[in-house]
Structure 1
Amino acid sequence: MAAKKPKASTPNPGNMSLRVWFYSILLTLQYGFQPIISKRFTRREVIVTSSVLTCEVAKVVCALILMAKDGSLKKLAKEWTLVGSLTASGLPAAIYALQNSLLQISYRNLDSLTFSMLNQTKIIFTAIFTYIILRQRQSIQQIGALFLLIMAAVLLSIGEGSSKGSSSGDPEKILFYGIAPVLVASVLSGLASALCQWASQVKKHSSYLMTVEMSIVGSLCLLASTSKSPDGEAIRRYGFFYGWTPLTLIPVVTNALGGILVGLVTSLAGGVRKGFVIVSALLVTAMLQFLFEGTPPSLYCLVALPLVISSISIYQKYPYQVKKKEA
């Protein structure tokens, strides 16, 4: 008993705080670097499905390692059932698989800062779907923050859609292959997030177990789609790793680790810290885009950036307070 007490007491006060800060900093850097890393190390010839599938495999490996560390892997054989797994993780997995494919397309056709800010519109759709599925209400401040985020998304869409100085130089290509995919992915992300929250509350699934289940189901859905999809045809013709280089593994692994870090930060520190991470990551992306790509953010980005930062900060700071009568 004497040997167990120091082990239990040591992580709680100081080490827990250090772990939260460590995971938060890592997630901030991952969010900030991911668009630039993907753009630089993923060649345009790389087949999107191959990149997404490899990322899902990396997520499963990381989650299993963490489950083995915390001891939950031993309980898996006794408590896991196929029906329970499909009920909790099947639909969100299929949605996330499609979302990841859309994000991969969008990465290649938008500048890094615009992609990062448009990607934050998923908060709007998360709020909508959590209300529909879980009846989770929003405060007046949060509703105002969501409108700020919509304004920022509209600014970015108009700015990028009419821009002639973009890397691709084709406004229609930017709109249909850059802006549209990331906005559709945001809608899907909101729906999947609400479904995952329902599964964690009703089915009591751990974040690591859901990561494994969703990655496996999502990968099976992608593999099934390759029978008739253009990516499937490209894989059969050129090979699964067509266009890959050793550097292509870097964005794949960082993206997988980011998925694990989201679960860690949320479970250890809650949504407020995650909101702080997202805001910090936008600033990191803006700085990195200027340093590595040599072009400062456009005027639309400069106007939209404070709107995005303010909206996320307000949304996280003023949650809905349950009144006494409702309680």
Structure 2
Amino acid sequence: MAVRRREAPKAGGVNPNPNASTKVWLFSLLLTLQYGAQPLISKRCTSREVIVTSSVLACEVVKVISAIMLLAKDGSLRKTFKDWTLIGSLTASGLPAAIYALQNSLLQISYRNLDSLTFSMLNQTKLFFTALFTFIILRQRQSIQQIGALFLLIIAAILLSIGEGSSKASSSRNPDEILFYGIIPVLVASVLSGLASALCQWASQVKKHASYLMTVEMSIIGSLCLVASAYKSPDGSAIRQHGFFYGWTPLTWIPVILNAVGGILVGLVTSYAGGVRKGFVIVSALLVTALLQYIFDGKPPSPYCLVALPLVVTSISIYQKYPYRVRKKEL
């Protein structure tokens, strides 16, 4: 009896066609730059007076406009919305949209209270939670190497949490403020990201929901959730008192638009090249973040970051290189 090893298809993976090679490289480069620069740009262009809910809502509006333009460009806009139903929309996009709305708010808070490199590395823990929830919801298993890689990622996150939460020398700000308004929000956002990613994958694979349509639905539903919560939240009170664009400058639109474009680029990279190229983008983006932080802020990475960075890079590289393989027996 012979045993043949067959690699299970990667979630969302689509091998790029030779004719699409230029597009793959272009989209990957743009996403790498956007992902790596986003924390730094958000911190420099968004003042602390800007109300978090206003920036999140503005980003969702840009996402909707971008997704509709892309649907119109590829000629599928009329057919997509002709086949649309409210029940199908709520089933596929309702819960992920509400989760992503909360996640985005937490990320906006964390951006302002952590240095760019620490934020980017802690944000990588979403890979662990994505793996966990895809196993729970879709029964998608991990290889031994991938499980080891995920443990490396958690060790890196713990190192960063200890370093940023206890070292007063690393920042003039209160360590408790860094912990509760920087580290904890981004870790909770990672958990939510993993759950929402698994639900979106379920909607895509089981419900066969189109990617750009989900972007529109989730942005609208998420925005409605934020507007509803604003009636009782401090952000809602601040908007009613000071106005929606309180603290905004023309520069505030830069991170808002970049964040929305990044969401579109993720879909394009996954569509053309699959998960492996997206993993390469994530690793490269960490190095871009470190480089930009040193160039523009003149701040070299802390000792904790220097230890955690190779752990994060190694973890994500191993995770992408050694996917789970199904053993298929043949007589």
Q: TM-score, normalised by structure 2?
A: 0.94
CA distance, structure 2, for counterparts of residue 78 and residue 152 of structure 1: 47
What secondary structure, in the 3-state scheme, does the structure 2 residue paired with 1:126 have? helix
**Corresponding residue for 1:295?**
299
Q: Deviations over 1:279-311 (max 9, x none)?
A: 000000000001111110000000000000000
Q: TM-score, normalised by structure 1?
A: 0.95
1:85 to partner: Cα distance: 0.4
Matched, 1:92 2:96: yes
CA distance, structure 2, for counterparts of residue 223 and residue 167 of structure 1: 35
**Given the alignment, which residue of 190, 193, 196 partners 1:189?**
193
Closer, same or farther: CA 227–101 of 1 in aligned 2, 3 Å: same
Task: Work out whether residues 109 and 168 of structure 1, in 8 Å CA contact, stay in contact via their aligned partners in 2.
Answer: no
The runs of 5 or more residues in structure 2 that have no matched partner are: 1-15
**Corresponding residue for 2:138?**
134
The runs of 5 or more residues in structure 1 that have no matched partner are: 1-10
Matched, 1:323 2:327: yes
Matched, 1:73 2:74: no
What secondary structure, in the 3-state scheme, does the structure 1 residue paired with 2:323 have? coil
**Corresponding residue for 2:257?**
253
**Given the alignment, which residue of 173, 177, 180 partners 1:173?**
177
**Number of residues paired by the alignment?**
315
Letter in 2 for 1:64: I
Greater displacement, 165-174 / 305-314: 165-174
What secondary structure, in the 3-state scheme, does the structure 2 residue paired with 1:323 have? strand
Q: Name the structure, 1 or 2, with higher relative contact order (CA <8 Å, separation 6+).
A: 2
CA distance, structure 1, for counterparts of residue 71 and residue 205 of structure 2: 20
Task: Work out whether residues 155 and 304 of structure 1, in 8 Å CA contact, stay in contact via their aligned partners in 2.
Answer: yes
**Corresponding residue for 2:232?**
228
Matched, 1:116 2:117: no
Closer, same or farther: CA 209–172 of 1 in aligned 2, 3 Å: same
1:168 to partner: Cα distance: 5.0
CA distance, structure 1, for counterparts of residue 76 and residue 17 of structure 2: 20
* Equivalent residue runs for 1:16-165 within 5 Å: 16-165=20-169
Greater displacement, 65-74 / 143-152: 65-74
* Identity within the alignment, %: 82
1:74 to partner: Cα distance: 1.7
Q: Deviations over 1:195-241 (max 9, x none)?
A: 00000011111111110000000000000000000000000000000
What secondary structure, in the 3-state scheme, does the structure 2 residue paired with 1:203 have? coil
CA distance, structure 2, for counterparts of residue 209 and residue 172 of structure 1: 41
CA distance, structure 1, for counterparts of residue 316 and residue 310 of structure 2: 10
Greater displacement, 316-325 / 162-171: 162-171
1:12 to partner: Cα distance: 5.0
1:13 to partner: Cα distance: 2.8
